[in-house]
Structure formats: C-alpha cells, structure tokens
A and B are shown apart, each in its own frame.
Chain A
C-alpha cells in the first residue's frame, strides 16, 4: 500500500499569511504514460464531508478560490494557502489515486494564530 504522510499535523497561521502543508508518498504517484501525478487535496470542516480542492496535484477544482494551489511531483507535494482567511480553518487531507487501495494522509489541522 502507498503510505501518505502529511506534515505538520497542525499549524496556526495569522490571517493574511501563507499556510503550507506537505504530503509525502511512500512511492511515486506519477504515472509516466500520462505524465500526471495521481494526487488530490481535500478540505474538511467540522460536521461536513470533505471538499475536493486540487486534483492531478495542481489542478484546481471548479469554484475553488485561487488562494489554494498545489505543487509537487513524484513523491513530494505541497498545498499552499496564499493568504489565510477565517473560512480556511479546517483539516486538510492529501490522497493518492495512483493505485488501490486508495490512501489518505492523516490530515493537517489549520487554525488561526
């Protein structure tokens, strides 16, 4: 199974500042024939289902604010929130869909400092 490890487990950022979350996979999720990274990011607020933010490691889902961006390739990925807003307080998960079993990172809780 591909193990997804996020860091940090939690972080507190001042309003308007940048938040950065890292995700590392135990093996590459880059599919060479398509040159795509099978990596997604989700946001989950309390009492709600997860919301897809990013797919293919860097493609923003329709309707997601451009404050969210994804980067990385192979085994190392980053989700950035360019200017943290109060509504961004949530838990963020990365997920690989390169192979089954699909696996998620353990989650990173983002709070306001």
Chain B
C-alpha cells in the first residue's frame, strides 16, 4: 500500500524558514517524480515544485522560485521542501504527491499525503 506522510509544518514568522519532509512507502520511490502541491485555507490547489525520480531535475512555480528548494533522498525514500524567506501568502496546507506515470517527467498525481499546515504569521 502506497503511503505518503508529511511532517515539518508549523507556525513561522515572516522571513523565516521551514523544511518539510515526506516519507514514502509502498512503491519504488526512485522511479517516480514527486511534487509538492499547496492549498491556502479555503482556496484551490497550487502546484509548488517537482523533482524527477533520480533527483537530476527540479521544477518550480514562479511564486516560490529562488525561495524554495526541493530535494529527495532515495536511500531514505524521503522527499523534502526547504522553504526560506517565507511570506504570509505561503500559508497553506502542503501536500506531497506521487506521479501516476513513471514514463513522463511531471504528471498527474495518483497518491497524496494528508498534508501539513504551514502558517506564516507574526
């Protein structure tokens, strides 16, 4: 059974940093691209970042480029999101999500974690 478990969320002041983690199990982690998708309270879904299975390529939304960094440790089956220079508008539930197709670079998502809430406020 595929499982994705996020951690690392919490309350942080504007300008601060957080690192989110996503522990994956139940599939060959290194074979699939992974993404972070966020959802602000009461709002829709926003893709944040993606990384190929090998970790060789990363992709970012313009809203986080230069502030956030995605990475993965395939030996630990874990995905990360380092978030720096946080702003109030980064407040959201952050989901990690698994690509449904290992043959394409970045895709739709067949498994999602339950999410971790990041609140940026003074």
Residues of A that sit less than 8 Å from B by CB: 1, 38, 40, 42, 44, 49-52, 55, 61, 93, 95, 97, 100-107
**Is B53 part of the contact surface with A, judged by Cβ < 8 Å?**
no
Q: How many chain B residues touch the partner (CB < 8 A)?
A: 23
Write 8 A-B pairs (CB below 8 A) sorted by A numbering.
A40-B108, A49-B115, A50-B112, A51-B112, A55-B107, A61-B100, A95-B108, A101-B61
In contact, B44 and A106 (Cβ under 8 angstroms):
yes
Q: Say which residue of B62, B108, B115 sits within 8 Å of A101 (CB atoms).
A: B62
Interface string of B66-105 (1 = CB under 8 A from A): 0000000000000000000000000000010000110010
In contact, B35 and A102 (Cβ under 8 angstroms):
yes
Expressed in whole angstroms, the minimum distance between the Cβ of B67 and any Cβ of chain A is 15
**Is B110 part of the contact surface with A, judged by Cβ < 8 Å?**
yes
Given contacts A52-B100, A102-B35, contact A97 B46 (CB under 8 A): no
Listed from nearest, the 7 A-B pairs whose CB atoms lie closest are A40-B108, A49-B112, A102-B47, A104-B45, A100-B59, A107-B44, A55-B108
In contact, A49 and B108 (Cβ under 8 angstroms):
no
Q: Which residues of B contact A61 (CB under 8 A)?
A: 100, 110
Q: Say which residue of B62, B106, B113, B114 sits within 8 Å of A97 (CB atoms).
A: B106
Given contacts A50-B45, A93-B45, contact A100 B108 (CB under 8 A): no
